[in-house]
Structure 1
């Protein structure tokens, strides 16, 4: 899980570094790097390329692209550490959506922890002088969409290979990002080519090792380690991009992480 968290953090930091490129072009290259792994693996293992639950996987892919695009766009307006922290509110939206779409129940303690996490958001917004409102809207659209993705994956179930689900997502991102970036294409230099293509590699590694973590360890043990991504991102962005985080913003981030880790541990125990 630590390897996964570091891979996702590096991807986010590189996206921030590539702010000279349009968000759609970044989405396009994010897709190419991952497809280079998923498509050969699907063909090698003779997995049905389009799966069975095509409609659900298309919806999941579209929602995933919305989440990814909004997240990348938000990095143009708010600090990357803050954006990553706020995007981690996705499990809250997932749990609430699951009540209506999957008929799942939320315990009273979980409602309290969700409210506590949102109090952290209010602290960040109230005391973070550099928190841009548009950036905040974008990150919450991303978090909500990501929460919906979690629910849709649950709905798809174990009948479909994770590789096929990811492949649908990346194919949709490739088409969407490619078409949308036609009018705003910037030709990368050699180093930028390497960085752009590495986005998908880091994304794939992050997804792969997160899956392995949940397959080999208890959820209550491995899940909290995913928040290493937030800590690593804040530390690196402070030195790399000279981003500053006030004490109140860091307090808000800490409250969000503490509340979500507590919810993960409680849910795993149940």
Structure 2
């Protein structure tokens, strides 16, 4: 066999390669959003930050739809399912934003990595899907990894850890629901519904906890940039799942631990600790086992 023939990708390899690139970019962009959210949360309440960032993303989406004449694609065909999914993701976003305000980015990401494991468990409990012995081993390994990374006997656990774990659970539920909506709705409708519901939920939480605090010009610029990153991340992730196989795309969420450690060190002087890296590697292994 020639070298060229050996090097030529299989028919499904090139789409999956493109999907992997889109997914890597998506989570890098999402991590940029998370940095800005964490910085903004140092000066104002988390619901206000979430509302500002989400509103900015929604405005940008409407501008894009107006420029391309695709307003119709923003409306869901099945509002009930789309709204339920959006509500779950709204809760997920507020929980993880709160976790970012309380924890180093790497710790919040690490707990969020439980999502693939929780999807497997919930699919077994709620949908009756059978898990292989290897997948069950992955479930156990995932919790071992969290224990290694967080060292509960040495680290003081707080509400931030609970919020990050809660966000993983809610996000897992939204992914199960996505199995029903993926073929029923356009991607743009799912994104627009999410942003509308998230903005409404964040506004309700904000008004119930004291209302708006004064916002400076730099805060508005940061919120606009975070909104742009948020929208861009969702569009890239949609493109990734449209281009390649879900089993290939999903594990790239784990690259966020790299961005979490990098951005944490650059912007928040957070040390990269050995037990955190070791635990992250174990959690990544668990996700791989579950996906197998």
Q: TM-score, normalised by structure 2?
A: 0.83
Task: Give me the whole-angstrom Cα distance separating, in 2, the residues matched to 1:48 and 1:222.
Answer: 25
**Which deviates further from its counterpart, 41-50 or 157-166?**
41-50
Equivalent residue for 1:2, pick from 10, 17, 24: 24
CA separation of 1:123/1:78 partners in 2, compared to 1, >3 Å: closer, same or farther?
A: same
Q: Who wins on radius of gyration, i.e. which is larger?
A: 2
Task: Give me the whole-angstrom Cα distance separating, in 2, the residues matched to 1:239 and 1:221.
Answer: 30
CA separation of 1:42/1:164 partners in 2, compared to 1, >3 Å: closer, same or farther?
A: farther
Gaps of 5+ in 2: 1-22
Residue in 2 that maps onto 1:20: 43
8 Å CA contact 1:113, 1:262 repeated in 2? yes
* 2:62 is the alignment partner of 1:35: no
Residue in 2 that maps onto 1:249: 276
Task: Give me the whole-angstrom Cα distance separating, in 2, the residues matched to 1:224 and 1:92.
Answer: 11
Task: Give me the whole-angstrom Cα distance separating, in 1, the residues matched to 2:185 and 2:245.
Answer: 23
Equivalent residue for 1:67, pick from 66, 75, 92: 92
Task: Give me the whole-angstrom Cα distance separating, in 2, the residues matched to 1:58 and 1:17.
Answer: 30
**Which deviates further from its counterpart, 33-42 or 244-253?**
33-42
CA separation of 1:239/1:184 partners in 2, compared to 1, >3 Å: closer, same or farther?
A: same
Task: Give me the whole-angstrom Cα distance separating, in 2, the residues matched to 1:4 and 1:198.
Answer: 15
Residue in 2 that maps onto 1:187: 214
- CA RMSD in angstroms comes to 2.2
**Which deviates further from its counterpart, 239-248 or 193-202?**
239-248
Task: Give me the whole-angstrom Cα distance separating, in 1, the residues matched to 2:199 and 2:152.
Answer: 38
CA separation of 1:53/1:222 partners in 2, compared to 1, >3 Å: closer, same or farther?
A: closer
Q: TM-score, normalised by structure 1?
A: 0.89
* 2:148 is the alignment partner of 1:123: yes
CA separation of 1:101/1:107 partners in 2, compared to 1, >3 Å: closer, same or farther?
A: same
Specify the SS of the correspondent of 2:103: coil
8 Å CA contact 2:52, 2:223 repeated in 1? yes
**Which deviates further from its counterpart, 174-183 or 57-66?**
174-183
**Shift of the alpha carbon at 1:184?**
3.5
Task: Give me the whole-angstrom Cα distance separating, in 2, the residues matched to 1:58 and 1:86.
Answer: 26
Gaps of 5+ in 1: none
